[in-house]
Amino acid sequence: MPRPPTLKTTEIFASVQGEGLRQGEPTVFVRLAGCNLRCGFCDTGKAWQGGRELPVARIVDDVLRLQRGLPAAWVCLTGGEPLAQDVRPLIDALHEEGFLVQIETNGTFPPEPRADWITVSPKPPDYDVHPGFVKRAREVKLVVCRTLTLDAVRAVRTTFPAATPILLQPQSNAAWSRKKAMRILEGACRSGLGGIRLSVQLHKVYGLR
């Protein structure tokens, strides 16, 4: 008999989506363990290693329990890099319970078409993503780190359709990064790049997880 599917998981918690176009919506987060990258600005480094191998059924039970405290229509699979594991059984099980599923990914693995919303966040130094994301990403998030340049933003803008917004997200909401985001936005506007917006990590403003 095949073993029930499991996923290496760091934490499951209810909060409000603080990033991207879904900002402000109650959401249950499933943070999966492991990542293939090592970004210098990573604020979820605890998810790089470890985690507990949890049965998918147990994850769904936890999501349902948390949703009773904070009614949420959405579950966000994040990390680490959630697409480094096979998330299909979890997405199917969450859909059966009536949830919508968002995936936050660095874009280096193939996209998962079962997801209802894909947020792709290309990472330095090359900002490359799997070509499958070009049409599937609902939004693109760029962390405004020390090395982000207008040329990199231009390259990402060229990769994705004009209708896909690119959000400039200040690193840890820091003042230097907010200033830099504004400079990049001005430069983008001056050079005719459209669909680029300022963003902020709303959950940190509100003191949430």
Task: Name the one range near ligand SF4 by CB under 6 A: 58-66, 75-83, 93-101, 126-134.
Answer: 75-83
CB-count burial class (<10 Å; 0-12, 13-18, 19+) for 44: middle
Instruction: Candidates 18, 51, 79, 82: give the one binding ligand SF4 (CB under 6 A).
Output: 79
9 close to 202: Cβ distance less than 8 angstroms: no
Q: Give whichever of 67 and 169 is closer to ligand SF4, judged by the CB atom.
A: 169
Q: Give whichever of 60 and 129 is closer to ligand SF4, judged by the CB atom.
A: 129
What is the contact mask toward ligand SF4 in residues 18 to 47, using x (rule: CB under 6 A)?
Answer: -----------------x-xxx--x-x---
Shortest spacing between CB 142 and ligand SF4, in angstroms: 12
Owner of token pair 């918690």? 13
Q: Give whichever of 31 and 136 is closer to ligand SF4, judged by the CB atom.
A: 31
Residue 119 engages ligand SF4 in binding (rule: CB under 6 A): no
Q: What are phi and psi of 15, to 5 degrees?
A: -160, -155
**Strand residues in 56-180 grouped as ranges (E):** 74-78, 100-105, 117-120, 139-144, 166-170
Q: Give whichever of 43 and 92 is closer to ligand SF4, judged by the CB atom.
A: 43
Shortest spacing between CB 34 and ligand SF4, in angstroms: 9
185 close to 196: Cβ distance less than 8 angstroms: yes
130 close to 109: Cβ distance less than 8 angstroms: yes
37 close to 123: Cβ distance less than 8 angstroms: yes
Q: Which residues bind ligand SF4 (CB under 6 A)?
A: 35, 37-39, 42, 44, 79-81, 106, 123
